[in-house]
Amino acid sequence: MLSRCSTLIVDDDLFARGIIRHHLTRLGIKNIFEASDGEEALEILRQAKMDLIIADRYMPKLNGLELFCNLQMEPLLKDTPFVMITMEDDETKIADARKQGIRHYLVKPFNAEIFDDKIQEVLQQPIAETLSE
């Protein structure tokens, strides 16, 4: 399943994108795309369907929270699984993101086990929700 998963990494830090790409590749994900900000991500998302978006909270032009809010206004994109990543471990900011609808959050730095668990959780959640209906 993971080998066919298309994933978009959105982060203005090239090094951070490389680390996330490494973790995704280690999980067996092969279709990995990258964007350096939210505007570039929207362009990619309007051209190609993604199974997962991993976005940094703080970026120029269009940050991760703004990207998520833009996705919610687009019927074909609003249900794409989304993971917010940030270096800021501030409960108020995390709560604010949750109020906006972001359910999955990772705080940098994270280890491989935490990353793997979160990605597995996010990608399996739609299946679990469908089975419970």
The predicted-structure confidence for 88-107, as pLDDT tens digits, reads as follows 777 888 888 888 889 999 99
Least confident of 16-25, 56-65, 85-94: 85-94
CATH 3.60.21.10 for domain 2-132: no
Instruction: Read off the pLDDT of each residue in 35-52 and give the average, rounded to a whole number.
Output: 95
CA angle 114/131/64 to nearest 5° reads 40
Q: How far is CA 7 from each of CA 13, 59, 88, 132, rounded to the nearest angstrom?
A: 17, 18, 23, 26
Q: What is the pTM of this model?
A: 0.89
Tell whether the model's pLDDT for residue 14 goes beyond 80: yes
Which residue stretches of 11-111 are H helix? Answer: 14-26, 38-47, 64-72, 91-100
pLDDT reported for residue 132: 36
